[in-house]
Amino acid sequence: MEDLVLEAGVSVHSLALPLRQLPTMDQMARVNLRPAEPAFSPVETVAGQIDAGALVICDHASNALPVEYGSLGLKPEALNRHIAYDIGAAQLARALARRLNAPALLSTFSRLLIDPNRGADDPTLVMRYSDGAIVPGNGRIDAAEIELRHNRFWAPYRQEIARVVEAMLASGEAPALVSIHSFTPVWRGTARRWKVGVLWDCDDRIAKPLLEALRAEPDLHDHGIGDNEPYDGALAGDTIDAVATAGGLANALIEIRQDLIANPAGALAWAERLARLLKPILARADVRGPQDFGSRARRGGRRGSRFSDE
């Protein structure tokens, strides 16, 4: 017999009462019963060919929080802002992966819980304040709680990326990592001119030809294309650095302005464009073969090269 879970989260069996002291069926009918909460998985997997030559990742795909964390004390509208996730990025990442026949891995938890695109020792790993918003649920967080979130959410996400990369390498086709993010149209009162940015560290095997291809698009021009803008791609400990750069895998982090992909039509249009431009680049096995280009971030000990609350 399965345990019945009461509203307070206590099962009938766990009460350890003699049978005669258990609630009657009539009493049970007046108790708000609900099923136990399902386990929160920190990773969403989109199936794809293991030898596709590309793995799409999306670090800030979701604004969801495990039920036990509530809303971290924030109002619902705060969780719909960019401080909680990269608006439009998840739909773009899924659609791009399908068009490349590639697997994709997306985080399923808000960056406000713990940021999967920060190093484990990064001071912005758990944000207490983000773009004008105080995060009450993080205000008094201690080392033990950070470690708990790290072990339950951050580490499994990173480990799954590493596991899939190893499986793809074993297929004989080294994968390039394509990381999908989005950025705000306005930052601290200043409008951003870029529509798309390509971020990279020292390895430009994907970034350079992709930037050239973007500049050839009739509706784009150099003024609206960011080469390591709006952020620098060298960030020690981020997902690309830890998985791709450290392993010599070709990579690019692609940032799309959020107003361009906030609706499904925009996200799908950009997925079509990026797939068309990336396919001939990714088709070249010589581009994807593991090579050690080093890292500006690790060589110079650079930290926090991107804005910490975006």
| Three-state SS letters, 84-127 | CCCCCHHHHHHHHHHHHCCCEEEECCCCCCCCCCCCCCCCCCCC
Which pLDDT band holds residue 38 (cuts at 50, 70, 90)? Answer: low
For residue 254, which of 46, 60, 123 has the smallest C-alpha distance?
Answer: 60
* Predicted confidence (pLDDT) at residue 289 exceeds the cutoff of 90: no
pLDDT computed for residue 131 by the predictor: 74
pLDDT computed for residue 299 by the predictor: 63
Q: How far apart are CA 242 and CA 251, in angstroms?
A: 12
Contacts of 309 (CB under 8 A, 6+ apart): 83, 124, 127, 129, 130, 131
Q: Which residue has the higher pLDDT, 192 or 100?
A: 100
Tell me how crowded residue 122 is: count the other CB atoms within 10 A of its CB: 17
Over residues 260-271, the pLDDT tens digits come to 999 999 999 999
Q: Provide the mean pLDDT of the chain.
A: 86
The overall longest dimension of the chain from CA atoms, in Å, is 79
Q: How far apart are CA 85 and CA 242, in angstroms?
A: 21
* Predicted confidence (pLDDT) at residue 310 exceeds the cutoff of 60: no
Q: How far apart are CA 303 and CA 271, in angstroms?
A: 31
pLDDT computed for residue 305 by the predictor: 41
pLDDT cut 70: percent of the chain above it = 84
For residue 51, which of 162, 165, 168 has the smallest C-alpha distance?
Answer: 168
Pairing assessment for the beta strands 104-107 and 129-130 based on DSSP bridges: unpaired
* Predicted confidence (pLDDT) at residue 307 exceeds the cutoff of 80: no
pTM of the predicted model, to two decimals?
0.85
Domain boundaries, the chain: 1-36, 42-299
pLDDT computed for residue 182 by the predictor: 97
* Predicted confidence (pLDDT) at residue 24 exceeds the cutoff of 80: no
Residue range 42-299 in CATH 3.30.300.130: no
pLDDT computed for residue 63 by the predictor: 97
* Predicted confidence (pLDDT) at residue 2 exceeds the cutoff of 50: no
